[in-house]
Structure 1
Amino acid sequence: MVRASRLESQHGITAGFGPRYDPMTLKEMGEEEVVQESLGHGEESHWNGVEETINDPEELRVIFSALDSFGQAFYALPQSHWQMLAAPPFSYLETLDRVDDAIESNAELARTIVKFGLHSFGVADPNSNQEPTVPEEWAGIAKHQDLDKARSTIRQFYRDWSAAGAVERDACYGPVFRALEAEKARYPDRREMRILVPGAGLGRLVFELCRRGYLAEGNEISYHQLLASSYILNSTETAEQHTIYPWIHTFSNHRSRETQFKSYKIPDVHPQTTLSQTENAGSMQMCAADFLCLYGDDTHQDGYDAVAAVFFLDTAPNLIRYLQVIFKTLKPGGVLINVGPLLWHWENHVQGHHGYDGDGDYDENNSLGVADPGSFELTDDEVIALVERIGFVVEKHETDREAPYVQDPDSMLRTVYRASHWVARKPEMGS
């Protein structure tokens, strides 16, 4: 059974004080963990419950073991060769020391998020004056894929919460903002718009939508991402509080050592201060859940004016179910705004239920979410055809939009997606 956590808090606006966010609580709903998350202006935000963190002593051991392997490979060279490289202008041993220091800087942010998570998930006593520590039973359980997720999360801070990442954000979030502005012009009498952001990641798009006056709700299944986003939104004290080194985990395709060791300050803006100083800001909330499990029920039917799917649809093993759930959640006349490539996440990684013949009827009340059996991959034109088959009316379709994703601008190798951007509308009642 896929475990899902659901946020239900309603965030309103208190006149004269900017947006106000209710503290988190937790309540059980059968097999689902139900989490309510918030942003607090001048108040403490709480998470209750226990979940995995993005850091672990074993993860650091693996990181430094990898670094040590570079040193061992270096000394395995012929003596005359490593002595040449140890001297200027190469100073390779000093480079390894600098990598060590940069890893420690990244790890300091990870440890801070862990401490925040230990308190907010109830593992550590928030009233205790003692420094929170990772429980002994957690030591050594981190796997290589956990390390990859932690490293990916650090790198994604560059995209979502650094000033330099604005180029990537503009490429992907800009089309969403413009489409929503067109919706506001189409319905000038509409007082407020509810926007759902599945696959919200580190929460920047949700934050920016709130900043622009929308009622924004983010959904994310990764607790690595959720813990990191909750920390950056709720608990950072100032802008540019942390320094990250997103490019130090690889030695390939660097023009110089200085580009490899380029650092960035995060967050580029302080979320709580920014929203408190923003007139007519909206509201925001984040929920931890499998998208299909949470939003496929009747309580979310016809609940949203728009769904902003940014680099999200290709995470679907079964895109039909994604689109059916999105269609169900949209109000009549609501729009699905898509920006992203088709890097199908489940290609060559088929989930379980091998041998399932698919003859049984699908029971949405007992869905396993992304763990449901079956998967397929479509081309962009086939995706558009499927969107229309589900019942949407495609009103706009652009291709070949350049969209970099966590890319070092100085790298000798850059991957730039040629993303597809389209807007599809759920027909009005009676149309």
Structure 2
Amino acid sequence: MMWNLRRLWVLAVTPAWLVAQAISVDNHPSLQSNAEEYSTIFQVHQTILTVSENASLPAGPDQTERHLNEVERLLQRMSRKHGRWNEHHPRYRLLEALRGFSSYAQLQQAELDRLEKLYGHASKQQRALLEREIGYGKRFTRVRELIAKNQELCDAVVRNALEFYQVDQGELDSHVEQMKKAGRSADRVSVSQALKHLVRDWSAEGANERDAAFPCISRALSEISAGRSGNDKPLRVVLPGAGLGRLGHEVYQLPGFEVTNNEWSMYQNVVYRFLENVTTLLNPDSSSGSAQDRGVHYPFIDSWSHHKTALDMLRPVSFPDVPPPSPPGTAVVLVEGDFTTAFADSTAGFDVVVTHFFIDTARNIMTYLDTIFRILKPGGYWINFGPLLYGSAPFVQLSLEDIVAVAEAMGFEFQEAPESCGAASLPGKKVRGVEAVYGFNSRALTKNAYDAQFWVARRKL
């Protein structure tokens, strides 16, 4: 197998006192004293990201045939000659995502300039007090420095995507210029959200959110696998709305499953492709495995609200806490595209569909239900965990009771769920609700939590 190795050099700027201490919510210091010192002392670490990229996608034992076939199909769909060229074309959406990542620093700095200008409206006496006591103005300088560090990560994501999707830099430059002439700004929010998903999916900090859902889903899958008799063929599992794919990789660790992730957002997909090609983010010359030797980013610098301390906003987050399997295709295959159309040729093709924080993203939830039923084999299982927070313009907004009634009418039989996965949500129905946090930032002063609904339903034979 041919591999193209390169190293990306990242400077992780971290407050010196923070590096010297164990970082936890319980012992994290505040800025009530020595604020001037905390705002000015830094320690710089040199972190090496060793990125291994498949140069030519040759067949071999390290990559599964279905991965190679899916990459081939993906590149065909990415061709400008495939389908109608408009803003919905996958290549157009890819170029928009890459434009967003390329423009990260420019867009974040513009927002920072706005905030700094607002600070100027405070009176001279007020600003003098803020500068003397907490060095407030210096935070703008620090955030600018950290924006630049995040841009290094964004640039690495873009470089990897250009190679993986076989897009020339000139094509991206041309697209950027066309959008500039059209007066269309790049998407700042989607890039920021994709970076925050690194926290939720691939950092130790995200464990509190993962631990609400993953154990229930894993237990259900293990019970389904254990219930088989005399069949050594792996169960085929698909996870629509997979985001950055951590759950799919957790499922792969269970015995007896072939895992397919599915995601529509190109902002999520290009970061996943970057992670997929990272053999290790640990410094190859270090044996400590400590946080400063890992890849880091600063996901919370774009929000100045709901922090206990200023340092919470500025803190680095290491990723990944466990390396994704590499090279790509050895564990989990990603199918990019809309769930309702990406599996048009997969009627009765899966043993299990796992919808994690997904079904309420539907414009038409009935189409989601139709797709789940269609792609499941008779006797296959649908595992769901998540809220029912519909978007701004859904065709249909079903209650939990509605969904259960419709699913049963379609031919699903709801199975018993363990009490550890929540209390019964509906009298006489096998659906349970459990509180699940969804907010990315475990140290924030605000928490977003849902009464997530968990069920296991079996398609009738």
Same topology, TM > 0.5: yes
* Contact 1:399–1:418 (CA under 8 A) maintained in structure 2: no
User: Which residue in the other structure is 1:243 paired with?
Assistant: 296
Deviates more, 1:242-251 or 1:417-426: 242-251
* Contact 1:115–1:133 (CA under 8 A) maintained in structure 2: no
State the superposition RMSD in angstroms: 3.0
Deviates more, 1:223-232 or 1:286-295: 286-295
Distance 1:79 1:50, change over 3 A: closer
State whether structure 2 residue 406 is matched by structure 1 residue 395.
no
Stretches (4+) displaced over 4 A: 11-14, 17-21, 28-33, 56-59, 139-145
* Contact 2:95–2:175 (CA under 8 A) maintained in structure 1: no
* Contact 2:102–2:158 (CA under 8 A) maintained in structure 1: no
User: Which residue in the other structure is 1:161 paired with?
Assistant: 202
User: Which residue in the other structure is 1:313 paired with?
Assistant: 359
* Contact 1:105–1:244 (CA under 8 A) maintained in structure 2: yes
Displacement of 1:18: 9.4
Q: Distance in 2 between matches of 1:78 and 1:151?
A: 32
Aligned to 2:205, the other structure's residue is in SS state: coil
State whether structure 2 residue 231 is matched by structure 1 residue 178.
no
After TM superposition, list the pairs within 5 Å mapping 1:291-330 onto structure 2.
291-295=339-343, 297=344, 299-330=345-376
* Contact 1:211–1:282 (CA under 8 A) maintained in structure 2: no
Deviates more, 1:312-321 or 1:332-341: 312-321
After TM superposition, list the pairs within 5 Å mapping 1:283-362 onto structure 2.
283-295=331-343, 297=344, 299-345=345-391, 347=392, 349=393
* Contact 1:320–1:386 (CA under 8 A) maintained in structure 2: no
User: Which residue in the other structure is 1:372 paired with?
Assistant: none
After TM superposition, list the pairs within 5 Å mapping 1:131-150 onto structure 2.
134-139=172-177, 141=180, 146-150=187-191
State whether structure 2 residue 308 is matched by structure 1 residue 255.
yes
- Number of residues of Structure 1 aligned to a counterpart in Structure 2: 363
State whether structure 2 residue 262 is matched by structure 1 residue 219.
yes
2:337 alignment partner AA: A
State whether structure 2 residue 456 is matched by structure 1 residue 418.
no
Displacement of 1:327: 0.7
Distance 1:157 1:243, change over 3 A: same
Displacement of 1:135: 1.1
Q: Distance in 2 between matches of 1:27 and 1:413?
A: 44
Give the alignment's TM-score, normalised by structure 2: 0.72
Aligned to 2:137, the other structure's residue is in SS state: helix
The percent identity for this pair of structures is 27
Q: Distance in 2 between matches of 1:287 and 1:170?
A: 25
Q: Distance in 2 between matches of 1:232 and 1:416?
A: 28
User: Which residue in the other structure is 2:397 paired with?
Assistant: 377
Structure with higher helix content:
2
Distance 1:195 1:137, change over 3 A: closer
Aligned to 2:204, the other structure's residue is in SS state: coil
Instruction: Pick the aligned partner of 2:406 from 368, 373, 386.
Output: 386
User: Which residue in the other structure is 1:69 paired with?
Assistant: 114
Distance 1:427 1:272, change over 3 A: same
Distance 1:212 1:13, change over 3 A: farther
User: Which residue in the other structure is 2:288 paired with?
Assistant: none
1:212 alignment partner AA: L
Q: Distance in 2 between matches of 1:12 and 1:31?
A: 25
1:121 alignment partner AA: Y
Give the alignment's TM-score, normalised by structure 1: 0.76
Gaps of 5+ in 2: 1-57, 85-90, 283-292, 417-429
Q: Distance in 2 between matches of 1:79 and 1:178?
A: 60
Distance 1:309 1:231, change over 3 A: same
User: Which residue in the other structure is 2:161 paired with?
Assistant: 117
